[in-house]
Amino acid sequence: MLYLPHPSQKVLDDYHEKLAPKILGKVNDPKFKLNVKARNHLTLKKIIEILTAKPDRLMQLHLEIMPKLIQRFTEAEYLSYVDGKKRRAIPAALKRYKNVNKLLKIFDYEQFISKSKYRSYTLARSLSRNTCTYCNRLYTNTVDYKDPLTGNVNDETRITRPQFDHWYAHSIFPLLGLSYYNLIPSCSICNTSVKGDDMYSLSTHIHPYVFETGQTFKFSYSQRGPDSYAVEILANPGTKINKFLTEMKMKEVYNAHVDLELKDLINLKKKYSENYLDTLFNETLNHINITKPEIYRMIFGIEVKEDNYHRRTFSKFKADILAELMTIE
């Protein structure tokens, strides 16, 4: 997983400026039949907070607002309701929790983000990530262009963007369906095929916007035969990052690239000895203005600075393997 930089206040202001009034309109729309307590609490100010609050505040907002929507709300009962909903067997005593479906229609991710190319591409541009935040294995570039006739970007000229994973699953926490810090740019495999609606918590899982010391890992490899290798992931047992990597099947996914990415690095190591690289760095290229990270980028196709890993696929993986095979300064 790669960490995400926090957005500027301007980015957050631009995000909520047009979205919040539309959500407020839904809150006050009689067809949604919100009770008075919930409607009075979901003011424009509160909606803006929901849209822009940081990860630790988001769960507090969920626990603050749900009791105003649902009588006798408890988190334990609510999670039992969610489980029953998945199994299509909701106990009669928990059917009052169906009111939560109103939030899915008010904080409507499909309407406001997924089906709106303008908003989804604007969000993607503000995030500016080239690769999946979770796996760094697939490109997730935002690609659009200006129509040559109008000189503007429109729905027809918007080509591709990252998917947005709800770190707090939208089906479980509908209030957070549009929260900026809950929308993680990712690839379709991580978002849909692997993570899906898994239950995440800051107490058990690492969050891309929450840096925590000690939550580190490294890619490594093992040799299984004369020309057979396997990807290994080194992380301390019991850590949040280890739990995340295990649940996201990261080792299994990366092992699909053994015959390509891993073997290529090992073969390059065999061909480019330490002495050759030393000569390349210190003699052949020492007369031009080029840094060692730039040389590694040209030779191995990676970014060696952690803040830049997101720019190229497999950068974290290759940097770790190369650090094991040879010295990168």
Q: Is 277 a residue whose pLDDT tops 90? A: no
Q: Is 247 a residue whose pLDDT tops 50? A: yes
Mean pLDDT value across residues 174-203: 95
User: Whole-number mean pLDDT of the chain?
Assistant: 90
Q: What is the pLDDT of residue 328?
A: 47
Which stretch of DSSP H or E encloses residue 263?
Answer: helix 263-271
In terms of Cα–Cα distance, which of 168, 244, 175, 171 is closest to 206? 244
Mean pLDDT value across residues 14-29: 96
Q: Which neighbouring-strand residues pair with 220?
A: 232
Crossing angle of helices 55-69 and 75-86, in 10° steps, is: 90
Q: How do residues 214-239 score in pLDDT, each as one tens digit?
A: 899 999 999 888 888 999 999 999 99
Distances (CA, A) of 253 to 136, 171, 193: 11, 26, 12
* Burial letters 106-140, b for 16+ CB under 10 A, else e: bbbbeebbeeebebbbbbbebbebbbbbbbbbbbb
Give me the DSSP letters along 192-252. IIIITT----TTTS-BTTB--TT---EEEEEEEETTEEEEEEE--TTSHHHHHHHHTTHHH
Q: How confident is the model at residue 59 (pLDDT cuts 50, 70, 90)?
A: very high
Q: What is the pLDDT of residue 309?
A: 93
List the single range of 72-81, 96-105, 157-166, 260-269 with lowest mean pLDDT: 260-269
Q: What is the pLDDT of residue 226?
A: 81
% helix / strand / coil in the chain, to the nearest 5? Answer: 55, 10, 35
* DSSP structural state of residue 164: E
